[in-house]
Amino acid sequence: MTVKAVDLIRAADVVAYHCARHGRSNARRIAAEYLGTQIEEALTYPVTTESAEDYQGLIDAFYTEAAARLAAHLDAGRDVVVLSEGDPFFYGSYMHLHKRLAHRYAAEVVPGVTSVSAAAATLGTPLVERDEVLTVLPGTLPPDVLARRLADTDSAAVMKLGRTFTGVRTALRTAGRAEEARYVERASQAEERQGRLEEIDPASVPYFSVGIVPSRVHVATTEQARADGVLRKSNALSACSPDSAGKSSARDATSSTGLVTVVGLGPGSRDRLTPEAFSALTAADDVVGYTTYVARVPHNPRQKVHGSDNKVESERAAFALDLARSGRRVAVVSSGDPGVFAMASAVVEVAAEDYPDVEVRVLPGVTAAHAVAARIGAPLGHDYATISLSDRLKSWEVVERRLAAVADADMVIALYNPASRSRTWQVEAAKEILLKYRDESTPVIIGRDVDGPEESVRVVELGALVPAEIDMRTLLIVGSSQTRWVADRVFSPRRWPTAP
Q: Tens digit of pLDDT for each residue in 256-288?
A: 468 999 999 988 877 788 888 888 888 899 999
In DSSP terms, 445 is beta-bridged to 459, 477
What tens digit of pLDDT does each residue of 460-485 get? 999 999 999 998 889 999 999 999 99
What tens digit of pLDDT does each residue of 437-448 get? 999 999 999 999
Mean pLDDT computed over every residue of the chain:
87
pLDDT score for 192: 87
The predicted model gives 354-376 an average pLDDT of 93
Q: Which helix (H) or strand (E) element contains residue 489?
A: strand 489-491
pLDDT for 254 beyond 60: no
Q: How confident is the model at residue 318 (pLDDT cuts 50, 70, 90)?
A: very high
Which bin fits 44, alpha (ψ -120 to 50), beta or left (φ > 0)? Answer: beta
Best CA proximity match to 351, nearest among 325, 333, 329, 312 = 325
Between these two residues, 8 and 254, which has the higher pLDDT value?
8
The predicted model gives 56-67 an average pLDDT of 91
Instruction: Give the Cβ contact number of residue 4 at 10 Å.
Output: 11
Q: Which residues are CB-contacts of 353 (< 8 A; sequence separation ≥ 6)?
A: none
Highest mean pLDDT among 142-151, 243-252, 263-272: 142-151
How far is CA 19 from each of CA 32, 206, 401, rounded to the nearest angstrom? 14, 15, 64
pLDDT score for 225: 53
Q: Would you call 286 helix, strand, or coil by DSSP? A: strand
pLDDT score for 248: 33
pLDDT score for 230: 44
- State the pTM of this model: 0.51
pLDDT for 234 beyond 50: no
pLDDT for 305 beyond 60: yes
Q: How confident is the model at residue 492 (pLDDT cuts 50, 70, 90)?
A: very high
The predicted model gives 296-307 an average pLDDT of 86
Alpha carbons 360 and 325: distance in angstroms, whole number: 11
Return the percentage of the chain with pLDDT > 90, whole number. Answer: 62
pLDDT score for 255: 38
Best CA proximity match to 387, nearest among 346, 429, 356 = 429
The predicted model gives 179-191 an average pLDDT of 88
Best CA proximity match to 285, nearest among 336, 320, 247 = 320
pLDDT for 246 beyond 50: no
The predicted model gives 46-74 an average pLDDT of 84
What tens digit of pLDDT does each residue of 420-429 get? 877 889 999 9
Q: Would you call 25 helix, strand, or coil by DSSP? A: coil
pLDDT score for 51: 57
pLDDT score for 223: 53
pLDDT for 500 beyond 60: no
Q: Which residues are CB-contacts of 442 (< 8 A; sequence separation ≥ 6)?
A: 434, 461, 462, 478, 479, 480, 481, 483
* Structural domains of the chain sorted by starting position, each given as residue range(s) with its CATH number in brackets: 3-101 (3.40.1010.10), 115-250 (3.30.950.10), 257-366 (3.40.1010.10), 369-491 (3.30.950.10)
Q: How confident is the model at residue 52 (pLDDT cuts 50, 70, 90)?
A: low
The predicted model gives 157-166 an average pLDDT of 92
Best CA proximity match to 51, nearest among 62, 61, 59, 43 = 59
Q: Would you call 437 helix, strand, or coil by DSSP? A: coil
Q: Which helix (H) or strand (E) element contains residue 225?
A: helix 216-227
pLDDT score for 474: 93
Best CA proximity match to 177, nearest among 200, 196, 150 = 150
Among 123-127, 167-171, 336-340, 482-486, the least confident range: 123-127
Alpha carbons 458 and 444: distance in angstroms, whole number: 8
